[in-house]
Amino acid sequence: MNRKHLFFWIFIVGLMETSCNIRQNKVTERKTADSVSLNVLKKDKNIKSKHKVIHYDLFSVDSIVGNYHIQYKSQENGKMIITHPITDGKGNDTIYYACQDVVLDVAKDGQKRFINKRIQIDDFRAFIPKNEISKYCISNFKMTDVTTSYIKFSINICMPETDICYWFNLIVSDSGDFNIKEFVEKESDM
C-alpha cells in the first residue's frame, strides 16, 4: 500500500509540474536559431488633421541574429494619401491614409552601429512611375534572410486598401551598402 501511494504522489507532482509550466508573461516573440526578436504593434496618432485619418499599425522589431543586432521600426512621416472611392454610386467620399517610413539600425559584433537609415517611399522612385508614386506607401517591411555577408528584407509598397503593390528585396551588405531589387513573380508562380 505504501508503494502505491508513493507512485501516485510522484505521478501527481509530475503532472502538476508539466501542466502548470505556462508562461505568464505573454509577449509576441519570434525565436530562430541564435536569434531573439520582439515585435511591438501600436498605432500612432501624431498626424493632426480635421479629417478622419486611417493609421496603419506601426511596428518595432529588435532582433539579434548571429553577429548582427538588427532594429527596425515604422514611423509616420506626416504625409497622407488621399483616395476617393466610389460608395453607393455617389463617389464623393474622401479617405485619408497616414504614410510611414522605416528606420533601420544595424550593428555587428557588438560594435557601434554601421547602418542607420530611414527608408522612404522616395527610395523606390527608380521602380515606381513618377506620376503614381504619390499614391503608394510602405505597407510591409520584414527581415527574411540573414547570412554572414548580407541581411535581406522584404518590402511591400502598396496603394492603401488595395492589392495593387510593388514587392522589393532590400539587401544590406556586410559593408553597409544597400541594394534594392524588384521582386517579379513568375507566371508559373501565379
Cα–Cα–Cα angle for 138, 94, 161, rounded to 5 degrees:
35
Q: Is the pTM of this model over 0.95?
A: no
Range of the domain at 22: 2-189
- CATH code of the domain covering residue 57: 2.40.128.510
Backbone region of residue 78 per phi and psi (left: phi > 0; alpha: psi in -120 to 50; beta: other values) = left
CA–CA gap between residue 43 and residue 55 (Å, rounded): 7
pLDDT tens, residue order, the chain (190 aa): 577 777 777 777 776 666 655 444 333 333 344 444 455 544 545 545 566 788 888 889 999 988 889 999 999 988 888 887 666 555 567 788 899 999 999 988 877 777 889 999 999 999 999 999 999 999 999 999 999 889 999 999 999 888 899 999 999 988 888 899 998 776 555 5
Total domains in the chain come to 1
For 14, which DSSP code?
A: H
